[in-house]
Structure 1
């Protein structure tokens, strides 16, 4: 078994364990231990600010490292000084970003209400330190991925980091540390990851920090900076999409509202997990289809992936939406249930995103790949504009509605673009039949009376939904994949 295959298996196991820990953290643990305002401060203000700062400072060099390292590999014992080249410009960029964040502190604090600004001000420097830790961690992770050493980095970022954050929250809730101590521990967890990655690089003999002039002769720095700039624009638009709604809820409503909205976002994120699993395989497959010029197989994969996403997405969206009372009951803090409407709107947007299939990957791997950047920037701009209009009027629901409208609009445009340029569209009669079955099964489960016990209601609605949805899919023959699975189960 090759190193790539072994690392892939380990990373898959680590990812699933990390997802389980992350779900427990964001839904069951942190909301019980921290107030909405405290969650809003750390996860909806400090972390997004630090993430954006880290991306701007690194200037796309993490992706550049993966893209260009094969040209440097085995060029001497230190890979021609690649690691100093990878770290040098981002460290200079971080100095500029840190100064910009310091100078913009008064302006940023003016965006928040007086009480929220008073909570943010003592911890503002933590965002700058956190940006540095995130930047160093991401650059070292990229270097390790280029070296095909990914398991340890995945463990640190997916499992160890989350456990350290929970440990800090428990220490705060038990009075061991103050809230300021929790914020420092929050930053410290990311710092520990960065230090451990450096120690691991030293242990495997790949921590080469002496710069060489040879690094500038293998590939022109201008070319690498150009690639990094292109990646930066794409990454920033994605980061804006993921974080701007929470940031704007914090500035236009309150930090407490931002914390509540973050939990709503995390609840809805469960819907996209099967989509992400499919996309990991889809990217390499579609790239191969482009290389072979096999448009027929690409169109077939486009349609089949859309059908699978529709099948799984509708079931998960209904399962989450029908049982929000149970999910929020696990938190044991009624104030978080204000985000129920936001969850439903976020589910709608993410379901449409999944149903429209792999249009974004097709565009990103096509000869017209630069249009993907256009779509991403348009999406980020649309989210910002819609949030600006809707949050003052509808608060949390406005942020979720803005996200939903933006996702529906951009995916409609992407789907049209792929159909117009390449003659492929992902829908057929099975998609309509799955949606019809989902509407019918969801309506029957929704009209069932509440038993007064959240767990019993979950079992009743979940059981009815599963039975009706599964029977409807099998009887209408809408998904051959489901029929094959059902046949195997019956044989066993």
Structure 2
């Protein structure tokens, strides 16, 4: 087994453990230990820092992955690649840090006086956090280029989240003030960046002496052009994931932003199987493009869409039907105000998951540049819809804007793939899956509350699982499951 395959298996395991820790942290730990306004503040600081880090890097993390093969093994220090990778972003960060500092009055003016007073003392943390996020991302890209990914994955997926949990527990036990918690939150990212540097030194790859040879391997202008393309893609991705929460905080309140952040985190659980399937889909679709085998790609496209529909409908119903259970575990009734937002976000994410492979097809195709246009359009659409809908409809307005944007852009992207390459993701099984999901979901929803959230969870979850599973098998919408069931029956009948 090669190093890439071994580290791929480790990274997959680390990712799932990290996702579980992250979900528990953002849904159950932080909301119980800090107030809604404080949670909203954390979301604001992370958003500002992430934008600052991406502007500082100017896409050089992606450029590093793209161009390192040209530098590899050119001398013991890879022709001075690491100083080049770090140098320009550090200069960029110096500029961005000054701009962020000068922009503080503007940012504070977006908030009500009470919320601005909460943001102001911690604004400097966002600047420092931008720096350490940038350093961590650049070192992570360098380690990926060197095929040393497991340690970085562990630090970013598991250790970082455990450090944040430890900081929250220390704050709740009064070992830290809230200012200390915010500093420790940023400090967790700094610890990860430092550990990555130590690891690079340990494997003998921390080459910090700049060389002129680095400028001769590949034209700097070409790298900057690629970095600019990557920057637009990365910025649009950040906007897609976080701008609605930021705009809720500015147009309503930090407390509302905290409630909406929790709603976003709850709905994110729906995306876990989509991410797992899409990781596999990316490499396979890229291989189909290499072979020019569009028929196989079309069959795979439909199969992944069907699996995403099967898993997505079940998870969306499971989450939506048991929101009382989820909010009950937090022990803070104010978060229940986000229930409507969760349902709308689930609808948008479900549609995105069902049709989401279209993005993978576009980004791996000869027309990959169109994907940037789709992402930028989606980001602008989300911002515009949020601007109109949040003041009118509150948290549900932000969620509805996100849902409309996802449905709209994925519909256009699906049409683009069908029109350009003749591939479409739907077969006759999709309507049957949706019908089974509707029947099973309605039956579980119609059951009365039992007065105990655990008993209600077991009753509704059990009914949903039995009806949905039976419906899927009887309608033949999951041939793999039917084949597996047939094999199991055959084994049981064998003497």
Q: TM-score range by the shorter chain?
A: over 0.9
The residue number in structure 1 matching 2:135 is: 136
Aligned to 1:220: 219
Name the residue aligned to 1:185.
184
Aligned residue number for residue 232 of structure 1: 231
Aligned mates of 1:410, 1:341 — CA distance in 2: 22
Residues 52-451 of structure 1 mapped to structure 2, 5 A cutoff? 52-451=51-450
- For 1:489 and 1:261, locate their aligned partners in 2 and report how far apart those are by CA, in whole Å: 45
Aligned partners of 2:273, 2:487: CA distance in 1, in Å? 21
Structure 2 residue matching 1:9: 3-state secondary structure: helix
TM-score of the two chains, using structure 1 as the length reference: 0.99
Given that 2:270 and 2:346 are in contact with CA atoms closer than 8 Å, whether structure 1 keeps it comes out as yes
Moved more, 476-485 or 143-152: 476-485
Counterpart CA distance in 2 for 1:221 and 1:288 is 30
**Separation of aligned partners in 2, 1:354 and 1:28:** 25
Is 1:27 paired with 2:35?
A: no
Provide Cα deviations, 1:206-232, integer angstroms capped at 9, x if missing partner: 000001111111110000111000000
CA–CA distance in structure 2, aligned partners of residues 481 and 49 of structure 1: 45
Deviates more, 1:116-125 or 1:353-362: 353-362
Q: Residues 93-124 of structure 1, C-alpha deviation per residue, up to 9 Å, x if partnerless? A: 10111011011110110000100000000000
SS of equivalent to 1:85? helix
TM-score of the pair, normalised by structure 2: 0.98
CA contact (8 A) 1:7 1:151 kept: yes
Q: Do 2:356 and 2:410's aligned partners in 1 also have CA atoms closer than 8 Å?
A: no
Q: Is the Cα–Cα contact under 8 Å of residues 305 and 357 in structure 1 kept in the other structure?
A: no
- Cα deviation for residue 177 of structure 1 reads 1.2
Question: Counterparts of 2:57 and 2:239 in 1: how far apart (Å)?
Answer: 16
Unaligned residue ranges in structure 2 (runs of 5+): none
* CA distance 1:489–1:169, shift in 2 (3 Å): farther
How much does 1:484 deviate?
Answer: 2.6
Q: Which runs of structure 2 are paired with 1:466-485 in the superposition (5 Å)?
A: 466-485=465-484
Whole-Å separation in 1 of the counterparts to 2:7 and 2:361: 27
**Residues 357 and 118 from structure 1, CA distance in 2 versus in 1: closer, same or farther, beyond 3 angstroms?**
closer
* Contact 1:283–1:361, Cα closer than 8 Å, also in 2: yes
Quote the Cα distance in structure 2 between the aligned partners of 1:12 and 1:286: 19
Q: Deviations over 1:429-452 (max 9, x none)?
A: 100100011001111111011111
**2:86, 2:412 → 1: CA distance?**
38
CA distance 1:54–1:400, change in 2 (3 Å): same
**CA shift for structure 1 position 187:** 1.0
Deviation of 1:40 after TM superposition, in Å, equals 0.5
Cα shift at 1:489? 4.5
Equivalent-residue separation in structure 1 for 2:88 and 2:25 (angstroms): 35
Query: Once the two structures are superposed, what CA deviation does each residue of 1:212-258 show, in whole Å capped at 9, x if it has no partner?
Result: 11111111000011100000001100100111001000000100111
The secondary structure found in structure 1 opposite 2:330 is coil
Q: Please tell me whether residue 36 in structure 1 is matched to residue 17 in structure 2.
A: no
Distance 2:425 2:408 in 1: 16
Q: Alpha-carbon deviation of 1:488? A: 4.3
Is there any run of 5+ residues in structure 1 with no aligned partner, and where?
Answer: none
1:13 maps onto 2:13 in alignment: yes
Q: Which moved more, 1:27-36 or 1:477-486?
A: 477-486
Distance 2:367 2:10 in 1: 35
Q: Runs in 1 of length 4+ with deviation above 6 angstroms?
A: none
Rounded to whole Å, the distance in 2 between the matches of 1:16 and 1:357 is: 20
Preserved CA contact (<8 Å) 1:302 1:357: no
Q: Is the 1:81–1:208 contact (alpha carbons within 8 Å) kept by the matching residues of 2?
A: yes
- Contact conserved, 1:357 with 1:426, CA < 8 A, in 2? no
Secondary structure at 1:395's aligned position in 2?
helix
How many residue pairs match? The answer is 491
C-alpha distance in 1, partners of 2:99/2:18?
34
The CA distance in 2 between the partners of 1:181 and 1:165, in whole Å, is 12
Post-superposition shift, 1:406?
Answer: 0.2
